[in-house]
Every structure is written in structure tokens, then in C-alpha cells.
Amino acid sequence: MREVTVRDAIREALREEMKRDNKVFLMGEDIGKYWQGAFKVTQGLADEFGDERVRDTPISENTFVGAAVGSAMTGMRPVVEIMFGDLIALAVDQIINQAAKIHYMFGGQANVPVVIRTPFGAGTQVAAHHSSTYLSWFMHAAGLKLAVASTPYDAKGLLKTAIRGNSPVLFAEHKLVYGLKGPVPDEDYTIPFGHADIKKEGKDVTIIGVLYMVQKALTAAKELRSQGIDAEVIDPRTLVPFDRKIIGDSVKKTGRAVIVSEDCKTAGVSAEIASIIMEEAFDYLDAPIMRVTAPDTPVPFSPVLENAFIPDEKKIIKAVKDIVS
């Protein structure tokens, strides 16, 4: 099977869905012909589909996300790109109070098939205003779906599902995953939401990674294997809906769990997953649930401090060894 990058897989999904359905169009800052996206995901699409379907927007996230919500309600299928995940805060009202609630408040008479793509995460030395990971904010927004792809295969399949669906979706990406290569089939495919993926099977401990942390978990699992510890690595792929069963079954098998997420520990993604494990597999736990997360601080600009901020393989390995005797 051919190998492509996450960046190219996302672009392929956008291109194929735009060809498949002329109601699909793109909106965002600098995504058009001149700049072609801050991370070059939309490169070439404006030349192919024109300015009507690849729309550069003003620097006003609340405004263009609101425009996308309105167009979705009238039958279009907008895919919005917000340049950096932190800037999504400027559009939270439109996402949470409008997109996520309209289907419910209209008694099911209106749908909002809008997809909002944005990259989160640290590691590129662009400071606190451009490096945070706010996934747990949107897990709490009833009516909104949340995808967290970590591989090219998952990115393409999940994005196609998001675009074809009738619900608002936050499609969370990570800056350091864009260049990651992996197998992607030529034929059309989708990945259903709410189905986690076992990236590596194991029997001694379950490691649940989110976004880029899946890759770090796999690297840590390889090192742990050389030390006689067989870790299972699970990628939720979507946080809303969340696959409780596959996580629960894994922890029932291994008896131990380590959750790795780049957001802050307090009230973060890891806290919710830990609660789910307690509800699904408490009687099977042989050790406390461990969480490897970023600290409760803004992301530092200094490369040395930023590297210390980001969860890494050493921290994952230590957490595993703390609970595996």
C-alpha cells in the first residue's frame, strides 16, 4: 500500500469530498491561492476548485465560523480551517452556543453539517498563544463531535466521515503529525466515529494516547518491550463519541492503565478517560490509573522549557514502571 503524510491524507479527503459533493466548500484564513494554508494542507485546492469553493476569510474567527454555521443550516457542507487551535477561543460562542445546540433547540428540524479543522499542540516554538491543546473544552459541549486522528489512514477516513455526516464536528489535528507518513489505500473508505483502534496489542498494561501522544506511546511501548513489559496501545480516534468498550476490555485484560494527553492534567481529557475506566473496569484494576500530561501552565516559548512541558517517552515509561511490578 502507498504511504502518504497526514497533511496529504487530509488534502486528499478534502479534494475527494469536494469532487463528490458540490455543496462541500472550504473557508479559513490564508487557505487560498496565495498562502495555501499555514501548514499547506489546502495547497493546490484553490487552483483546482476556484475562489468560490476555497474561500479566504478575514481575520475574524467568530464571524467566519458563524457564516459557516449559517450556510450549513441552509444545506451547504462547509469545512472551516482555524489557523491555530488557540484561536478557536474566538469562535467558541458560534461553536458551542450555535453549532452544537441548534439541532436540539429546533427539535431536530435543522442540521448543522459543519466541520471545523484546527491544529493543536506544542513543539514548534510558537509560544503560548499558538501551542495549547483545548480538547476537553469541546468534550463538554453537548451536540458536538470531536475527532483526534494520529495517522494518515485515520485522518483521511475520519475526515470523510465528518464531512458526510449531519452533525457539527471539531476535527482536531496536531502540528507535529502533519509530516508523519503511513499507509493509505487508493480506494474510497470512511472510519465510523466511536470506534477506537488498538495500535499495538499487549498484555501487561494499557496505554491510551491522544493525538500526537499515540506516536510517543508507541515508541515507549517498543522500549518497554525490550525491558520485558508488553504494553497495549490504544488510540480513541474520536473523543466524542468515545469507545468505552474497547478501552474497558483492554484494561480488564491488562489490569493497568496509563493515559497520555498533551493538555493540562486538571479537568483534562485524561481525567474523563480515567473516570470511564473506573466505571467500566474498576474491579479489574491491579494498580492506580496513571496520567501523563502537560503541567497546568501555559506553553513556554523557550525550547528547553517547552520540551520539558511536553509529555515524552521517558515520562510514559516511568508511569508504566510505577504500576507494573
Active site residues: 61, 130
CA–CA separation, 309 and 292 (whole Å)? 11
Cell 498562502 sits on residue: 35
Longest dimension (CA), the chain: 60
* Assigned C-alpha cell, 294: 502537560
CA distance 163 to 156: 11
What distance in Å separates the CA atoms of residue 58 and residue 37, rounded to the nearest whole number?
14
Going by C-alpha positions, the residue among 27, 6, 30, 29 that lies closest to residue 18 is 27
How many angstroms separate the CA atoms of 120 and 96, rounded?
A: 18
Q: Is the preceding peptide bond at 241 cis, omega within 30 degrees of 0? A: yes
- b/e per residue, 273-285, with b = 16+ CB within 10 A? bbebbeebbeebb
Distance CA 226, CA 69 (A): 50
- Let me know the angle formed at the C-alpha of 180 by 177 and 183, rounded to the nearest 5 degrees: 125
- Taking the C-alpha atoms of residue 37 and residue 181, their distance in angstroms, rounded to an integer, is 20
Rounding to the nearest 10 degrees, give the CA dihedral for residues 81, 86, 92, 94.
Answer: -20
Tell me the C-alpha distance between 257 and 276, whole Å. Answer: 12
